[in-house]
Amino acid sequence: MKPHDPNEIIAVVNENDKVISQDKRITVHQKGLLHREVYVYLIFDNKVCLQLRQDSRLLDHSCAGHFPVTQSYEEAAIRELQEELGIKATEKELLFIAKKKFMTQKDDYANNRFAKIFIIERKPDFCLDKSEVKSVKMYDLAMLNRLIKHKEKITPSSEEIIKKHILPILSERRGAH
pTM for this predicted structure: 0.93
| Residue 106 pLDDT class (50, 70, 90 cuts) | confident
Q: Of the candidates 144, 167, 173, 3, which has an alpha carbon nearest to the alpha carbon of residue 85? A: 3
Distance in angstroms (rounded) separating the CA atoms of residues 26 and 18 = 20
Note the CATH number of domain 9-176: 3.90.79.10
| Residue 1 pLDDT | 45
Q: Of the candidates 160, 114, 129, 138, which has an alpha carbon nearest to the alpha carbon of residue 55? A: 129
Distances (CA, A) of 165 to 27, 114, 156: 31, 16, 14
- Asked if the model's pLDDT at residue 130 lies above 50, the reply is yes
Distances (CA, A) of 91 to 67, 125, 157: 16, 18, 23
- Asked if the model's pLDDT at residue 174 lies above 80, the reply is no
